[in-house]
Structure 1
Amino acid sequence: MGLKKDYAALADQDRERIQRWSVLDEGEQAAILGDLISSPEMEALVDEALAANPDLQQTLLTLRIRQVQYRKTFGDRLPEIKGGYTAGKEEDTDPSYTGSLSIGWEVDLWRKLADESRAAGKDAAQQQALYQSARDTLGAEVMKAWLELIATQKNITIEKKRLGVLEKNEAFILGRYKNGLGTLEDLDSARTRTASSRASLEEYRENLARQRRALNSLLGREAGPALTLPADYPTVVPPLISLPAQTLKRRPDLKAAYLAIEAESLRASAAYKALLPSIDLEAAFEDVADTPGAALLTDPVWSVLAGLTAPLYQGGKLRAAAEISGMETAKAYQAYRETLLDAVNEVEDAVGQEQALKKQVRHINTALASARSNRLQYREKYRAGLAGMLDLLNVQEQTYDLEQQLNNLIHERLVNRIDLGLALGLGVKQ
């Protein structure tokens, strides 16, 4: 009788097989996600979200329910005591009063009840780990939402600069056209680009408003004062990559998946033990008297019963329940393996992304420096009549496109560092 496989041991072996993964050339030692970011404003927003986010509060209430359920299953192992008191009177007789007390207890001969209680304890511990995982994820989402707001605000600033230059170009070309020095094609091109920039600016502004609403939702606000955004990004350092053995043990989602295996294993053990005989003990005390006070078990009649019961035939329900419990344990083990593989991939993906984005930022910086120099040269050539307006507009557009591309890459790199910290098991402060 019992489980055929020790799935918890298999899970330990799976985790221990991961000996190494990619590392970064740079990184800062950090205990929590907040150690990666230098921003008091962001920390205040994270604290607000942890206190008021409705989804997180639901997870917390689920944890409270699991803890109460654990206390309930622990009570099932203790004796059950029932008391009663009745009064009655029949015709032509004196009233009678009866007091009774009964004590019942199922002897946990095979520790079935202990397994069920321990399984409930594992459920509570699993929910505690899931709650911590939800807290960490929420904190990271608030941080990324804050960075997204800054990125969009910076894109708006760049687009305003682009629009200002395009409007000046349009006015300049219009003046030349009126003086017979320009062409209608140049004027149409300038107006097209100006209108396109205005449309992009409106899109960025709406994106910013939508992102503010999304952040308010994370914070648990129905509405709130407008957030004051800094002009530039806060410092976000990459986390130090620790060994897999250290990282995987501190990830709460992996802890939760492991605890699920242990809980299902205990339930499977209890299900198999339900096939075995059980012993029930019962003691009963009863006192019948002519007065209420005399019926309070002052001179009771007592009896003690003991019974041995064993399931003989229930249509295979107990055996099927035991088999299902065993398969639920196997299912929990596969869920753990999936979580483990996801954890490894998240670290590898974030490390690879950090390295790739570092190179992309360097290349775009080089391209942007060349584009700015090229823009100045074409401006002088156009004024000297050596280049056409379309060429100048193309160079200007390229410059601002590169500025926005660089801004988006920087934002993506900072967000990736938060994702990397989360993948390494860094969470929010307790």
Structure 2
Amino acid sequence: MATLRPLRYSVLALRYSTLALTVAAVVGCSNTSVNYQQKADAALTAQTHWQYQQQDAAALTQLTQLIAMPALTSLVEQAILKNPNLQQTAIALQITYAQRGVTTSERSPQVSAGFDAKNNDGDESYQADVNVSWELDLWQKINDEALAADMDIANSQALYQGARDALAANIMRSWLQINLQQQLIAIETSRLTVLENNERFILSRYRTGLGALEELDNARTSGAKTRATLAEQQETLAQNQRNLGVLLGQTSAVQAASEFPTVLQPLAMLPDQDLGRRPDLQAAYAAINAAQYRTDVAYKALLPSISLSASLSDIASSPSDALLTSPAWSLLGQLTAPIFQGGKLRSQIEIAELTTEQAYWAYQENLLIAVNEVENSLGQELSLERQQQHLRDALNSAKRSEANYQTKYRQGLIDILDLLTVQQQTFDLQSQLTQATYNRLVNRIDLGLALGLGITTDMAGETS
């Protein structure tokens, strides 16, 4: 027997050496995986400057600072509490917190109890037992799962923040849209007033034999067309007012002033700082981290696991005696290791790695979109500024021309078509200038959203 002991010890040593090499190999494979988190960091800092230079831009930290209107801020606060879509996103965040609790519960021992009664030919017996089981987190596998759950929470938090920011921006856009529609209605009403005055003047001339019937028909055609446009714009205004009410979580329409409020131009600073504030990029970054942790979990599934279990049981002839008055303990330890599962674990590793890479490319896509949104908004600010200036110049010229044509028509030097043409041009330019002003103000809201401005302070009793 003595000659067999060295052989037995050699076999045991070989087994432990093989196990150690397996552990080292698996951990090594996990550590040599591509670090997509570092690649995402490098991609964010690769953008060093913005293409366009700004003038008269303000350094802001919140989206609501773009329009300093207490009434509008109050609407945003109301929407955060009552908007149904945002509330669904908030509940999704709460579900993520609960899912993390399920994951972290695996760190703690599991305890179960049972009570059983049997009757065999008049002999009654009762059995009570308590079972305790606990898996040692030897390779920090459960810890990695908990860290992945933390990243899921970070992802959901960022998505919720993004939903809040988008809701605030939509409310501000809707407010400006109502301002726009009211101004367009005012312009069309003024156009209709002028056309009706023309029609009365033409009718007066026609009755005295100074005008032609065609002139009256042309004036009436222009008036009818303007009335149709006015009816369309009035319904558009009513729809916009109702749509704003829906954003606020109510069925009643919301009234707003007709004049545009002052909308500041947000300052674009360093790209990595601006883009780093964006919730969509924060969510995509958290998704990469979660996927990397789950890749580590997939690798560690190849490693052995150690679990401990203890049971406490008692059998007696009465229920009171069976309540563990003289229990029997049993304590077991178990070491398990995967040997052959048909390639299941390796496939799960491959899926986890591909999921991580997919998350990285989703981050890259969001980053490209973010950069493009900022650059487009900065370019639009300059373009719309030039458009406004050109439209102002054109409108001033059109007003002078209209006054001259009005005088010439009353003197009989031109016909009604010439006058109607220049009048229509004047009102069209007024509408175009109003639309360009609206576009520029909305573009500043889009720029603020693209730069990561959001709802970052306590609003409606919430902490973002």
TM range (shorter): over 0.9
Matched, 1:407 2:434: yes
Which stretch of the first structure deviates more once superposed, 16-25 or 255-264? 16-25
Match of 1:140 in 2: 169
1:235 aligns with 2:279: no
Query: Which residue of 34, 42, 61 maps to 1:31?
Result: 61
Alignment of 1:175-190 (within 5 A): 175-190=204-219
Structure 2 Cα separation of the partners of residues 47 and 26 of structure 1 = 29
- Alignment correspondent of 1:127: 156
1:208 deviation in Å?
0.9
Work out whether 1:87 is the aligned partner of 2:117: yes
Aligned residue number for residue 76 of structure 1: 106
Correspondence for 1:255? 282
1:5-48 alpha-carbon deviations (Å, 9 max, x no partner):
00001000101111111331111121111111022221122112
Q: Number of residues paired by the alignment? A: 427
What is the rounded CA distance, in whole Å, between the counterparts of 1:38 and 1:230 in structure 2? 15
Please say if 1:214 is aligned against 2:211.
no
Q: CA deviation at 1:395?
A: 0.8
Q: State the secondary structure of the residue aligned to 2:107.
A: coil
Counterpart amino acid of residue 366 in structure 1: D
Tell me the C-alpha RMSD between the 2 structures. 1.3
Contact 2:178/2:258 (<8 A) preserved: no
Q: Paired residue for 1:289, among 316, 327, 332? A: 316
Give the secondary structure class of the aligned counterpart of 2:60.
Answer: coil
Q: Deviations over 1:379-411 (max 9, x none)?
A: 111111222211111111011000000000000
- Residue in 1 aligned with 2:201? 172
Aligned partner of 1:392 in structure 2 is 419
Kept after mapping to 1: 8 A contact 2:242/2:254: no
Q: Are the aligned partners of 2:180 and 2:258 in contact in 1 as well (CA < 8 Å)?
A: no
**TM-score, scaled to structure 1:** 0.96
Code of the residue aligned with 2:314 in structure 1: it is D
Distance 1:318 1:312 in 2: 10
2:408 partner letter: K
Are positions 1:300 and 2:327 aligned together?
yes
Q: Which residue of 1 aligns with 2:462?
A: none
More displaced 10-residue stretch of structure 1: 115-124 or 348-357: 115-124
State which of 12, 17, 20 in structure 1 corresponds to 2:46. 17
Say which SS state the counterpart of residue 365 (structure 2) adopts.
Answer: helix
Measure how far apart 1:177 and its partner are: 1.2
Q: Aligned to 1:76, what secondary structure does the other structure show?
A: helix
Q: Distance in 2 between matches of 1:280 and 1:228?
A: 66
Cα shift at 1:351: 0.5
After superposition, where does 1:303-322 map in structure 2 within 5 Å?
303-322=330-349
After TM superposition, the structure 1 = structure 2 runs for residues 417-428 of structure 1, keeping only pairs within 5 Å, are: 417-428=444-455
Equivalent residue for 1:102, pick from 109, 131, 141 = 131
CA distance in structure 2 between the aligned counterparts of 1:234 and 1:407, rounded to whole angstroms: 13
Aligned match for 1:364, one of 378, 391, 401: 391
Residue of structure 2 aligned with 1:44, choices 67, 71, 74: 74
Aligned amino acid, residue 127 of structure 2? T
1:31 counterpart SS class: coil
Structure 1 residue 245, shift from structure 2 partner: 2.2
Amino acid at match of 1:60: A
Judge conservation of contact 2:100–2:150 (CA < 8 Å) in 1: yes
Q: CA deviation at 1:99?
A: 2.1
Partner SS, residue 280 of structure 1: strand
Aligned counterpart in structure 1 of residue 186 of structure 2, from 130, 135, 157? 157
8 A Cα contact 2:301 2:345, kept in partner: yes
1:284, distance to aligned residue in structure 2 (A): 1.2
Give the Cα separation in 1 of the matches to 2:210 and 2:68: 55
Q: Which of 217, 220, 231 is the equivalent residue of 1:191? A: 220
Tell me the TM-score normalised to structure 2 length: 0.89
2:245/2:254 contact within 8 Å kept: no
User: Deviation at 1:201?
Assistant: 0.3
Deviation at 1:360, TM superposition (A): 0.5
Q: Choose 414-423 or 290-299, whichever is displaced more.
A: 290-299
Could you tell me which runs of 5 or more consecutive residues in structure 2 were left unpaired when the two chains were aligned: 1-28, 459-464
2:242 match: secondary structure = helix
Q: Is the 8 A contact 2:36 2:357 kept in 1?
A: yes
Q: Distance in 1 between matches of 2:385 and 2:272?
A: 27
1:60 matched to 2:60? The reply is no
Sequence identity (%)? 48
**Deviation readout 1:300-343 (Å, 9 max, x if unpaired):** 21111111112222221211111001000000000001111111
The C-alpha deviation readout for 1:54-107, integer Å capped at 9, x for no partner, is: 1111111110100000011000121111112223343353x4332211111111
Give the equivalent residue in structure 2 for 1:8.
37
Tell me how far apart the structure 1 counterparts of residues 187 and 312 of structure 2 sit (CA, whole Å): 87
1:118 Cα deviation after fit: 1.2
Letter in 2 for 1:154: Q
CA distance in 2: counterparts of 1:227 and 1:130, whole angstroms? 28
Q: 1:180 Cα deviation (Å)?
A: 1.1
Alpha-carbon distance between aligned partners in 1 of 2:53 and 2:329, rounded to the nearest angstrom? 74
Q: Which runs of 5+ in 1 are unaligned?
A: none
